[in-house]
Amino acid sequence: MTTELTTILNRLPCFPLLDGPTPIQRLTRLEQMLGDAAGGARLWVKRDDFMAVGGGGNKLRKLQYLIGEALARGCDTFVTTGGLQSNHARQSAAAAARAGLACELMLSDVVPLHDQAYRTNGNLLLDDLFGATVHHLAGDANALAAAQARADDLGREGRKAYVVGSGGSSPLGSLGYAACAAEVLEQESALGLRFEALVLPNGSAGTHAGLAAGLSAAGDDPRRVLSFTVLAPLDKALTDTRALAAASLRLVAPERSLPEGAILIDGSQRGDAYGLPTTAMVDAVRLMARSEGLLLDPVYSGKAFAGFLDRAKSGAWRDRDVLYIMTGGVPGLFAYCDTLASDPAGAR
């Protein structure tokens, strides 16, 4: 079924933004540092931060199909939405530049952080470097409506815009992670193992939805996917992710349906609100950096990795192999420098 899924995906318009499968690596140093606390779990990471375009990150998988469709429709401008420090916006700007498209970003002020680093550094700095036009919106603005209105304005100027919402998490965009599911299945076969769980952050739901759809289409179990919501409250994250997974699955395997309880999401790591730091996130970012020399971001992967560590320490994966999907977002670290630079203990 993996070959059949890949064949279906290969029929879709796609603008290549990856250099091939991203590697899966064993976190041996982290396992050593955790010792008995990890309960004998074998910890692995899939390096979806390990991509060349725009600083890398998971949104490039989605953008391959979204940019591909935009080009197939003859569009000249890519318009999308996000928060001020949106990783998707930054990767969209880079992907659009590579594809020869203009890019316009509708960025909402949704996180109550007001220091200079958050409002000028990180992804915002890179949006400008990649040549995107940035429109700043109030936190309660309807960003997708603003994006569509801007597309209408461009249309009256004789241009043609492609509009997609936050995270590129449309049913089509989510197929980037259906392709990733097929990739993981092939890597499991090559490694001679099967992961008990595939763990990741859940923001706009597309990464989890795509993995669930891809596994289902390939005849595997989508309940292997566990995400930690960092954006929506748990009930909304569950509803949105299931609906998006079902819509994505219909695009590649309309004869299949998601099984009961197909979507598993943990709400323990969100904190007070989207984008606001937590102590567990800071600890997880530092531990990964100091054990493996790898960088997690403070909004998505840092919070989810804190949950990953909690699960490992609880004995949930005793003597099992478990995979963390490392979704990128490193530029966001520079927007949170006031939070991350302070380490009174200064200890390893």
Sign, CA torsion 45/51/56/58: negative
Specify the long-range contacts of residues 307-310, CB closer than 8 Å, at least 24 apart.
307/199, 307/228, 307/266, 307/268, 307/269, 308/199, 308/228, 308/284, 309/34, 309/284, 310/268, 310/280
In order, the DSSP letters of 101-138 are -EEEEEEE--S---SHHHHHSTHHHHHHHTT-EEEEE-
Give dist(CA 137, CA 146) in Å, integer. Answer: 9
Sequence-ordered strand ranges (E) for the chain: 24-26, 42-47, 77-83, 102-108, 133-137, 161-164, 197-202, 225-229, 264-266, 321-326
Q: Which of 271, 256, 172 shows the shortest CA–CA distance to 222?
A: 256
**204 part of the active site:** no
Strand order in the sheet with 77-83: 133-137, 102-108, 77-83, 161-164
Which residue among 86, 170, 174, 227 is the active-site one?
Answer: 86
For the chain, give percent helix, strand, coil, nearest 5: 50, 15, 35
Coil, strand, or helix at residue 265?
strand
Which residues, at least 6 apart from 101, have a Cβ–Cβ distance to it below 8 Å? 67, 70, 71, 75, 76, 77, 78, 162
Residue 275, phi-psi category: left (phi > 0), alpha (psi -120 to 50), beta (remainder): left
Q: At what angle do helices 59-72 and 171-191 cross, to 10 degrees?
A: 130
DSSP-assigned letter for residue 23: P
Q: Which residue has the tokens 């929506």?
A: 232
Q: Active-site positions?
A: 86
